[in-house]
Amino acid sequence: MKLFAFALICTISYMSCFSQDSTKSRSLYIATNFSMVPVIKITGTDTGYHNALSISPSLNFRSKNGWGIRYSPSIITSGTNPGIYMHTISAGYRNKGNKSMDLSFTYSHFFISKNADIPYTPIHNELYLSLGYTKKWLQPLFSSSIGFGRSLEASSSIPYDISLSGGVSHEFGWEDKGLFSYIGFSPSLLLNAGTNEYFSFLCASRYLSHTTKFDSYVLKGTKEKSSIASPSPKLDFRNIELDLETTVRARSFSITPSGAIFFPVSGLYRSIDGFWQISLKYDFKHA
Which residues have CB under 8 Å from 98's CB, separation 6+? 21, 22, 23, 24
**Three-state SS at 267:** coil
* Total tally of structural domains belonging to the chain: 1
- Judge whether residue 246 has pLDDT over 80: yes
Q: In this predicted model, which residue has the larger pLDDT, 97 or 21?
A: 97
pLDDT of residue 225: 46
Which residues, in sequence order, are bridge partners of residue 198? 220
pLDDT of residue 104: 93
Mean pLDDT of the chain: 84
d(CA 233, CA 236): 9
pLDDT of residue 38: 92
**Three-state SS at 227:** helix
Which residues have CB under 8 Å from 115's CB, separation 6+? 76, 81, 83, 85
Cβ–Cβ < 8 Å for 91, 62: no
- Judge whether residue 17 has pLDDT over 50: no
pLDDT of residue 284: 86
* Best CA proximity match to 233, nearest among 7, 36, 42: 7
d(CA 88, CA 16): 25
Q: What is the pLDDT of residues 104-144, one digit of tens each?
A: 999 999 999 888 889 989 999 999 999 998 888 899 999 99
Residue-range definition of the domain harbouring residue 50: 2-286
Q: In this predicted model, which residue has the larger pLDDT, 35 or 210?
A: 35
d(CA 29, CA 47): 40
Residue 44 CB coordination number (10 Å): 5
Q: What is the DSSP string of 162-200?
A: EEEEEEEE--EEEEEETTEEEEEEEEEEEEEEE---B--
Q: What is the pLDDT of residues 47-95, one digit of tens each?
A: 788 999 999 999 999 998 889 999 999 999 988 889 999 999 999 999 8
Q: In this predicted model, which residue has the larger pLDDT, 38 or 220?
A: 38
pLDDT of residue 221: 53
Q: In a 10 Å sphere around its CB, with 0-12 CB exposed, 13-18 middle and 19+ buried, how is residue 189 labelled? A: middle
Cβ–Cβ < 8 Å for 109, 122: no
pLDDT of residue 41: 84
* Best CA proximity match to 42, nearest among 81, 85, 96: 81
pLDDT of residue 186: 95
Task: Give the model's confidence band at 98: pLDDT under 50 very low, under 70 low, under 90 confident, else very high.
Answer: low
Residue 181 CB coordination number (10 Å): 16
Q: What is the dihedral of CA 168, 61, 37, 235, to 10 degrees?
A: 50
Q: What is the CATH number of the domain that holds 167?
A: 2.40.160.40
- Going from the C-alpha of 206 to that of each of 99, 209, 237, the distances in angstroms are 29, 6, 15
pLDDT > 90 in the chain, percent: 52
**Three-state SS at 219:** coil
- Judge whether residue 286 has pLDDT over 70: no
* Best CA proximity match to 92, nearest among 23, 25, 19, 30: 19
Least confident of 75-84, 157-166, 222-231, 270-279: 222-231
Q: In this predicted model, which residue has the larger pLDDT, 98 or 59?
A: 59
